[in-house]
Amino acid sequence: MKKRNLSAKKKIHNFYLEKLKNPRIKKIYSEFERKLGKYTRRKFSIAVSGGVDSMALTFLAKCHSIKKNNNYFYFTVDHKLRSTSTIESIQTKKKLKKFGIVCDILTWKNDRNFSNLQAKARESRYELIFQKSLRNKVNLVLTAHQKNDKYENFFIRLLRGSGLKGLSSFQSNKTKIKKKMNIYILRPLLNISKEDLSYITRSTFNFSIEDPSNNNDNFLRIKIRKLINQLKKNGLTFEKFNLTLENLNKSNNAIDFYVKKNINENTSLINNKKSVIINEIFFTQPEEIVFRSLSKIIHNIGNKKSFTRGKKIFSLVNDINSIKNFKKKTLSGCILEKVNKSIIISKEN
């Protein structure tokens, strides 16, 4: 490497290491490093939106790569949903390049005809980053979800009538969201506040892209965000709220334990693992255990992208328990038949 390049690299490294001397930034980085300490892999990908949170994540990741000699791949997605999205992606790429970070722009070619454009955009964004990551032999993608996102997600799901699983699902630091892809999302900032991440971005890159939808009251998340801010002003402390979320998560993990137990003890795989026989004891378990167990089996056998809607699973359980002449049904790519007192679930051709 040429002397000039070595000098530039040293200057960039010194920038990051000097910033880490700031006590507030150092404390946040230490939490970030601790969260990633249990992963032995030395390759990670970063989803960079250009927003305040993701720029802070990018800074922390770069520090981590310098200190631990890890390899990070940075990706930003030009979603084409706003007329300025391409310009914003280029701005983000150029800004990060000045700080020694190579950020690739991935482009989503959408036709805007989807019924839920926001959800489809989020799904496609992950799809693009996952595919690019796997080509680089990376199966851990870091996102900038932070403490405030955790609270917002809880309230959104509460308003939608979610059960315990839904209310606690965002507590996990590691999640697999693509069934057919061996890749996981890591959320190392879930215990870090937005205020702290904003401080990092202002104190380091001093650059971020503001998403205009953050001020659009037509989106439920923005309404929830304003509600939470109002609750804060009226004395709501999130230390106790966080304890409630942790307790919900523990309860959810306990139920998952008995779901696995129910499946292991009361089902058998047949036809080269393409079908499942469920015995009658399976359906004598508590309602939530039966619901989750059956939902998981149908999801695995049907091999669909998403889980079957809860109403359909509940209806199916009621039919199995109440209809004596239950013989055959189809649901989510599965065929369900009753043979004597057992239920056989097979993949639909």
**Claim to verify: residue 261 and residue 227 sit in the same structural domain:** no
Strands 174-175 and 184-186: antiparallel
Is residue 241 a part of any domain in this protein?
no
pLDDT score, position 79: 85
Q: Are residues 224 and 268 in the same domain?
A: no
Question: Which helix (DSSP H) or strand (DSSP E) does residue 186 occupy?
Answer: strand 184-186
Position 156 scores a pLDDT of 87
Q: What is the CATH number of the domain that holds 80?
A: 3.40.50.620
* pLDDT for 89: 95
**233 phi and psi angles, rounded to 5 deg:** -65, -25
Which residues are CB-contacts of 41 (< 8 A; sequence separation ≥ 6)?
138, 139, 140
Describe the crossing of helices 287-302 and 238-266 by its angle, rounded to 10 degrees.
70
Say yes or no: 101 and 192 in one domain: yes
Structural contact between residues 297 and 276, judged by C-beta atoms closer than 8 angstroms = yes
Q: How many domains does the chain have?
A: 2
CA 190 to chain centre: 11
Query: Is residue 173 domain-shared with residue 66, that is, in the same domain?
Result: yes
Evaluate whether residue 267 is within a structural domain. Answer: yes
pLDDT tens, per residue, the chain with 349 residues: 566 666 778 889 999 999 999 999 999 999 999 999 888 878 999 999 999 999 999 999 999 999 999 999 999 999 888 888 899 999 999 999 999 999 999 998 866 565 566 667 788 889 999 999 999 999 999 999 998 888 888 888 888 888 888 888 777 788 888 877 889 999 999 989 999 999 999 999 999 998 777 677 777 888 888 888 888 888 777 787 888 888 998 999 999 999 999 999 999 999 888 899 999 999 999 999 999 999 999 999 998 878 898 899 999 999 998 877 787 899 999 999 998 889 999 999 8
* Cα–Cα distance, 72 to 64 (Å, whole number): 9
314 token code pair: 């509940």
DSSP assignment string, 76-133: EEE--SSTTHHHHHHHHHHHHHHTT--EEEEE----S--SSHHHHHHHHHHHHHHHHH
Choose the final residue of a domain: 191, 207, 236. Answer: 236
Q: Confirm whether 142 is domain-assigned.
A: yes
Residues 98, 158 share a domain: yes
Task: Please tell me whether residues 270 and 188 are part of one structural domain.
Answer: no
- Examine the domain organization and report whether 43 and 129 are in the same domain: yes
Length of the chain: 349
Domain boundary among 187, 217, 236: 236
Residue 218: inside a domain: yes
Helix, strand or coil for residue 276?
strand
In this structure, the answer to whether residues 98 and 67 fall within a common structural domain is yes
* 196 found inside a domain: yes
Domain co-membership, 328 together with 216:
no
This prediction's pTM: 0.84
CB atoms within 10 A of CB 184: 16
Last residue of a domain, one of 212, 236, 260: 236
Looking at the structure, tell me whether residues 223 and 252 fall in a common domain: no
What CATH number should be reported for the domain holding residue 293? 1.20.59
Q: How far apart are CA 63 and CA 155, in angstroms?
A: 34
Distance between CA 151 and CA 136 in Å, rounded?
Answer: 34
Alpha-carbon separation of residue 251 from 152, 163, 176, 265 (angstroms) = 20, 12, 21, 21
Kind and range of the H or E element at 329? strand 328-331
Helices and strands of the chain, counted as H and E runs: 12, 11
Tell me the residue range of the domain where 201 lies: 3-236
Residues 35 and 151 in one domain: yes
What is the strand order of the sheet 275-278 is part of? 267-270, 275-278, 342-347, 334-339, 328-331
Looking at the structure, do residues 227 and 140 belong to the same domain, yes or no? yes
